[in-house]
Amino acid sequence: MGKAIRVSGLTKFYGDLLAVDHISFEVEEGEIFGLLGPNGAGKTTTIKMLTTLLRPSDGTAEVCGYDIQREPDAVRRVIGIVFQEPSLDLELTGRENMEFHARLYDVPKGEMDARIEELLKLVELQDWADRLVRNYSGGMRRRLEIARSLLHHPRVLFLDEPTLGLDPQSRRHVWSYISRINREEGVTIILTTHYMEEADQLCDRVAIIDKGRIVALDTPEKLKGIVGGDVLTLEVGPEAKRLMEAIRRRGLARNIQMLRGQITLMEKDGEALIPVLLRLAEEVGVPVNSVSLRKPSLDDVFLYFTGERIRSQAPEPMMMWRMRMMRRGR
């Protein structure tokens, strides 16, 4: 397989603000490739440059062999886009939205009707095709947008936060359709997301992007393997710094982070370390409210490389102890 996308030193300034900082990566044909990072990391700006909606400040990129600056029309012919913001006409039916888009892309009349039926069936909206889109749920609207983006047989599909704002069930349905599209249509898919589970479930490879820079790039499993072992989180509160310094003095952990009253350690045998840490906390007089033990996630990879968590809510632990310790004893 060849390269669907080649990016070298791609950079974007907004005035003095550096939004995308000399990033480089390649995407294989047929791959689902994720750009994972928090809001403001530079994901959408990257997508806009690759889809010719923004001109780079520096660097180069090719989509299916076409240069995004010298051959923008050729790039647009081979890509599909689902924007972060909704773009459907709510006063048209699902079928009418599809027909309007097909005409914009000069899909031949003889092919258009069959293609619309094929795609509506793919995203399971054939029974809703002739109803107004304003009566669709959020998940159904997103599925229609994905179907619409495929009308002209694009070779590369860009999905910018495709499940943003959807409930968990709708999000999983969209994941299923993205996987089917990749498999059945043979489309290379580039998606941006800040959902860890989404990147983990869907993507063949993930580029973790923070403050405009790619800080890590590999398969989800290999990225989690960088962290390795178990992830231990101690919920401590305002005295977390004192306990963290004591842990470091004893040499109990190689990789330790503190964030908003939580201490996170990444070690091979986390379960054996728990009683050691609790005894140490008692020695230094620092109450521990809870301890969780689990396997690494992409959130931990992000923490490992940036010192920050991509989201405020921690993932579900593999094992949880709730100790509710009082300052005067257990």
**β-bridge pairing 32-36 and 17-28:** unpaired
Q: What pLDDT is recorded for position 1?
A: 67
Condensed to tens digits (0 to 9), the pLDDT of residues 209-261 reads 999 999 999 999 999 888 878 889 999 988 899 999 999 999 887 788 888 88
Is residue 269 a contact partner of residue 230, using CB atoms and an 8 Å limit?
yes
Domain 3-218 belongs in CATH node 3.40.50.300: yes
**Helix, coil or strand: residue 190:** strand
Q: What pLDDT is recorded for position 65?
A: 97
Condensed to tens digits (0 to 9), the pLDDT of residues 96-131 reads 999 999 999 899 988 999 999 999 999 999 999 999
Is residue 286 a contact partner of residue 242, using CB atoms and an 8 Å limit?
yes
Burial class (CB in 10 A: 0-12, 13-18, 19+), 106: exposed
Is residue 137 a contact partner of residue 170, using CB atoms and an 8 Å limit?
yes
Who contacts 270 (Cβ-Cβ below 8 Å, separation ≥6)?
Answer: 229, 230, 231, 232, 293
What is the domain partition of the chain in residue ranges?
A: 3-218, 224-322
Q: What pLDDT is recorded for position 318?
A: 35
HSE (side-chain half, CA atoms, 13 Å) at 238: 0
Report how far residue 95's alpha carbon sits from residue 108's, in angstroms, rounded to the nearest whole number: 16
- How far is CA 85 from its chain centroid? 16
Q: What pLDDT is recorded for position 311?
A: 57
**Helix, coil or strand: residue 46:** helix
Give the residue from 61, 59, 51 showing the smallest Cα distance to 6.
61
Instruction: List beta partners, residue 326.
Output: 329
List the chain pLDDT tens, one digit each, 330 residues: 689 999 999 999 999 999 999 999 999 999 999 999 988 899 999 999 999 999 999 999 999 999 999 999 999 999 999 998 889 999 999 999 999 999 998 999 889 999 999 999 999 999 999 999 999 999 999 999 999 999 999 999 999 999 988 999 999 999 999 999 999 989 999 999 999 899 999 999 999 999 999 999 999 999 988 887 888 999 998 889 999 999 999 988 778 888 888 899 888 888 899 999 999 999 999 999 999 999 888 988 888 888 777 753 333 333 333 333 333 343
Is residue 203 a contact partner of residue 220, using CB atoms and an 8 Å limit?
yes
Cα radius of gyration (the chain): 23
> Looking at the domain that runs over 224-322, which CATH code has it been given?
3.30.70.980
**Helix, coil or strand: residue 174:** helix
